Structure 1
Amino acid sequence: MTKHVTHWIGSKPVSGSSGRQGDLYEPSTGALAGKVDFAGPAEVDAAVAAAKAAFPGWRDASLARRAKILFRFRELVEGHRDELARIISAEHGKVVSDAAGEVARGLEVVEFACGIPHLLKGGFSENVSSRVDAYSILQPLGVVAGITPFNFPAMVPMWMFPVAIACGNTFVLKPSEKDPSASVRLAELWADAGLPDGVFNVLHGDKAAVDGLLHHDDVKAVSFVGSTPIARYIYETAARNGKRVQALGGAKNHMVVLPDADLDLAADAAVSAGFGSAGERCMAISVVVAVDPAGDELVAKVKERVARLKVGPGDDPESEMGPLVTRAHRDKVASYLDSGVAQGAVLAVDGREGLPPGDGFWLGPTVLDHVTPEMDAYRDEIFGPVLSVVRAGSYEEAMDLLDANPYGNGTAIFTNDGGAARRFQNEVEVGMVGINVPIPVPMAYYSFGGWKASLFGDSHAHGMEGVHFYTRTKAVTARWLDPSHGGVQLGFPTNG
């Protein structure tokens, strides 16, 4: 029996009325696994209306109550981590251990949001004028929306909605239609935690659902993670409709390896960061910049490690890398192997060899050596298990590559030279930097986001930037008169 994934509106499942659906697949076999309802205007209006109706009560809920519900939600997600990981693995294809890891990283943002009574503290200044006090308060926006990608169906939504909801907003989530089930399960856990009806809603669908949210008058802010062309579209469309926007775009993350680096550490990092989750993550290392004379030895060590990687179904405990999410995406990623060779690269490891049997969406770890900036494999965001190796003659040449690249999401440098590392972190035009760390994803109490074409808008995700994105600052100037003193002007009372 195939699954049927419905919307979640007003704390209950709601079947679609648009008559449109999408197919869900099992990536390891290629088999059709079910259908997901696609939202039309009626479902978009219903979800936003539910969130709008819930907003006044949730906005006025005490910080203590919000924190208590967040704590309950945190415990429920932790208790269902294995279940969520299996749901993610079945629809996305990533191995269960990777899926459990993404749930854990999402939980860190929930834990950060549990501190909302502290995070929403404003400021106070006494006697800004004679017996006049001034203070600032942070207030929620209203109905906010999140539009999230297929590669992290639990973690990326949890970058958004815990902070938004903790701040007093209500939320409409439009997850990827490729792997929607995790979002519905999270919605069910929110209901079990006692979140009031309508505070969290889930809409499934394609561009029609996205455009419905971007143009809806009652949606006050939109958060997005995805490719740069779509991020630009989200930003321009939502901003044109008067909404606050944070749109995180694509990436082409470079890992610079200097000759003095520990090459075993660098090779381990390149393999784990390049091929974890089948390379389908915005913080994957997609380009290794080997500074002479490190290149030959580094590539040899990478090849040794790739040969030991086990590619297999996500639910196989021995698998270290699963299939890609869809057949179309697999075919697009695989096309870079032929184009890379045709344009002059060396296919050091061919990911089309030694794959599991069957009709799954398989492509193994691939290494293209001697890649140059003119090649498609270098310029495009491949978003799959293809690692490009570029040779550089010096640190300066490596930095020129990074500076010229239009993306600025994440980067890393591997070196034992503290001065070189400090210079790198100071000079590189990238939002997140790792030093001997290949995937520099910030902890939840910092903020996630890139520079250049990797970010549209001013705010990064989660951390204090997330709090500021989901709130508005109100400045108050107050003078009180005390009748017992004949109308003498006194400052704002402490119990006011």
Structure 2
Amino acid sequence: MSQDIVNHFVAGEEFEGKSTRTAPVFDPAKGVSTKQVRLASTDDVEHAVQKAEAAFASWSSMSMTKRNQVLFRFRELLEAKKGELAEIITSEHGKVLSDALGEITRGQEVVEFACGLPHLLKGQFSLNASTGVDVYSLTQPLGVVGIISPFNFPAMVPMWFFPVAIAAGNTVILKPSEKDPSAANWMAALWKEAGLPDGVFNVVHGDKEAVDALLEHPVVQSISFVGSTPIARYVYETGARAGKRIQALGGAKNHMLVLPDADVDVAADAAVNAGFGSAGERCMAISVVVAVDPVGDTLVESIAKKMSAIQVGDGRRSCDMGPLVTEAHRDKVASYIDVAREDGATVVVDGREVAVDGDDQGFWLGPTLVDNVPTSSRVYGEEIFGPVLSVVRVSSYDEGVDLINSGAFGNGTAIFTNDGGAARKFVTQIEVGMIGVNVPIPVPMAYYSFGGWKHSMFGDSRAHGEEGFRFFTRQKVVTSRWPEPSHGGLNLGFPQN
């Protein structure tokens, strides 16, 4: 039986391309392939780059007022139709509809931030910096830019980048994950409806061949990437060698430090929400709870009790948590439960035993809680990217901070305490890019920038916020003198006044 094919979207229309390669797209809650997605060849990427390059001159020279009108229109259409997009995300990723809607809302915040482009793109002016000499700065777009986004947030992560890139006057080629590609095409069609000229926003589906083609193409000026640390490092090194600007956001192992004075019930709620939302498939998920003695036993008991209320099932039903994105990923995540037991940890809740409100063939794994995890275990050291929450016991605040700071990742972290002094000290001492104080998932608002430290980010610029606008623009400084008619004579030195 033939299946629908997700085509590329280039220059305002669907584009089949020359490549005949495809990959299956699954409904994770049913465990069946529902469609195929085209995998671009190097020639297909070349076609998209040419269309984006052709559109750049007119889009970049369009007034900021007109560009802003398109962004506002896109924002209004997204608000009106986001239910459609949420259904697409749930059908291909598996997250529950409310989570999909939340993802879209967070992405929409960046669209709204980018609508402030007239202010964010203005330069500076110094009158009479030297006698009769004025100095001013201006910003200009880069040209064609590439975005490579992951499966776990098929709408939000692309929206971290493309609203800012488009507002700044660039043209965009988005390479979404081949696991859930349809959201990208839906957003491309919405841009067209909003009045964005053809060729400004393009979608090319594919695998490593498409990624490498973008990384190595001489016309593509920058790459924005979110994904695992090994691939982020590859994108950074490959793109940098090709002379591109790179912002590559990698993996994470986020800790939540719980002090003895914390409200245990609040901390347990936070650990469950942050550990199992979106089935733990997010780089800002809390995957390690660091319990400072003597709070550990009470905290683990409370977390386990709250986990029992989570209903796992089809995200289109009244469920709290959906399946994992693929069968292979589900099996990999589940294998860590046996590793934990072999390494001497206590499996308090085994997600393989969960009762599911969904099809038997779905890629299910319920919330899992593992206590007393040794820091030497792979369960502690590796990014699991699934609904497995580890608990590590420490004897003091200082031991907890040292544990977090010794890790390879530095994406997000949180502290739960009622001690303001301890919280302030934690914010200063911790070597992590995004920090929550009694907030388990400290994803910043769109007008701040997103990005971690250490092996959680490669490159010098983080996503969205003012850093995002700086990433997608180049600055010029102009020194200008308009001499009066009476001016004359030679002066070979630097101006002194």
Q: Secondary structure at the match of 2:20?
A: coil
**Superposition map of 1:26-41 within 5 A:** 26-41=27-42
Per-residue displacement from partner, 1:378-405 (whole Å, max 9, x unpaired)?
A: 0110000000000010001101110110
Give aligned pairs, total.
486
**Alignment counterpart, residue 476 of structure 2, candidates 474, 477, 485:** 474
Aligned to 1:127: 128
Aligned to 2:492: none
**Alignment counterpart, residue 377 of structure 1, candidates 353, 376, 379:** 379
Aligned to 1:78: 79
Structure 2 length normalisation: TM-score? 0.97
Aligned to 1:147: 148
Per-residue displacement from partner, 1:119-141 (whole Å, max 9, x unpaired)?
A: 01111111111100000111100
Would the aligned equivalents of 1:355 and 1:363 in 2 still touch at CA under 8 Å? no
User: 1:231 & 1:24 partners in 2: Cα distance?
Assistant: 24
Q: Secondary structure at the match of 1:128?
A: strand
Does residue 1:171 correspond to 2:172, yes or no?
Answer: yes
Q: Secondary structure at the match of 1:308?
A: coil
Per-residue displacement from partner, 1:331-356 (whole Å, max 9, x unpaired)?
A: 00000000110011100000011332
Q: Secondary structure at the match of 1:481?
A: coil
Would the aligned equivalents of 2:279 and 2:386 in 1 still touch at CA under 8 Å? yes
User: 1:473 & 1:218 partners in 2: Cα distance?
Assistant: 19
Per-residue displacement from partner, 1:86-126 (whole Å, max 9, x unpaired)?
A: 00000000000000000000000000000000001111111
**Superposition map of 1:81-480 within 5 A:** 81-316=82-317, 318-356=318-356, 357-480=359-482
Q: Which residue identity is paired with 2:413?
A: T
How far does residue 482 in structure 1 lie from its aligned partner after superposition?
A: 4.6
Aligned to 1:494: none
Structure 1 length normalisation: TM-score? 0.97
Q: Secondary structure at the match of 2:352?
A: coil
User: 1:373 & 1:84 partners in 2: Cα distance?
Assistant: 40
Gaps of at least 5 residues in structure 1 are: 490-496
Q: Secondary structure at the match of 1:186?
A: helix
How far does residue 240 in structure 1 lie from its aligned partner after superposition?
A: 0.1
User: 1:466 & 1:123 partners in 2: Cα distance?
Assistant: 18
Per-residue displacement from partner, 1:266-290 (whole Å, max 9, x unpaired)?
A: 0000000000000000000000000
Would the aligned equivalents of 1:355 and 1:362 in 2 still touch at CA under 8 Å? no
Q: Secondary structure at the match of 1:80?
A: helix
Would the aligned equivalents of 1:145 and 1:219 in 2 still touch at CA under 8 Å? yes
Per-residue displacement from partner, 1:423-469 (whole Å, max 9, x unpaired)?
A: 00000000000000000000000000000000100111000000000
User: 2:303 & 2:175 partners in 1: Cα distance?
Assistant: 38
Would the aligned equivalents of 2:354 and 2:365 in 1 still touch at CA under 8 Å? no
User: 1:153 & 1:355 partners in 2: Cα distance?
Assistant: 28
Would the aligned equivalents of 1:282 and 1:383 in 2 still touch at CA under 8 Å? yes
Q: Secondary structure at the match of 1:424?
A: helix
User: 2:266 & 2:480 partners in 1: Cα distance?
Assistant: 59
How far does residue 479 in structure 1 lie from its aligned partner after superposition?
A: 0.6
The CA RMSD measured in Å over matched residues stands at 1.1
User: 1:372 & 1:470 partners in 2: Cα distance?
Assistant: 43
User: 1:271 & 1:19 partners in 2: Cα distance?
Assistant: 44
User: What is the percentage of aligned positions where both structures have the same residue?
Assistant: 62
Q: Secondary structure at the match of 2:353?
A: coil
Aligned to 1:7: 8
Would the aligned equivalents of 1:482 and 1:488 in 2 still touch at CA under 8 Å? no
Q: Secondary structure at the match of 1:32?
A: strand
Q: Which residue identity is paired with 1:460?
A: R
Q: Secondary structure at the match of 2:362?
A: coil
User: 2:365 & 2:59 partners in 1: Cα distance?
Assistant: 47
How far does residue 4 in structure 1 lie from its aligned partner after superposition?
A: 1.5
Q: Which residue identity is paired with 1:334?
A: A
Would the aligned equivalents of 1:16 and 1:38 in 2 still touch at CA under 8 Å? no
Would the aligned equivalents of 2:132 and 2:483 in 1 still touch at CA under 8 Å? no
Would the aligned equivalents of 2:371 and 2:390 in 1 still touch at CA under 8 Å? yes
User: 1:24 & 1:245 partners in 2: Cα distance?
Assistant: 29
How far does residue 32 in structure 1 lie from its aligned partner after superposition?
A: 1.1
Per-residue displacement from partner, 1:153-174 (whole Å, max 9, x unpaired)?
A: 0000000000000001100000
Q: Which residue identity is paired with 2:104?
A: V
Q: Secondary structure at the match of 2:135?
A: strand
How far does residue 480 in structure 1 lie from its aligned partner after superposition?
A: 1.1
Q: Secondary structure at the match of 2:483?
A: strand
Q: Which residue identity is paired with 1:337?
A: I
How far does residue 16 in structure 1 lie from its aligned partner after superposition?
A: 3.0
Q: Which runs of 4+ in 1 moved over 6 A?
A: none
Q: Secondary structure at the match of 2:463?
A: coil
Aligned to 1:493: none
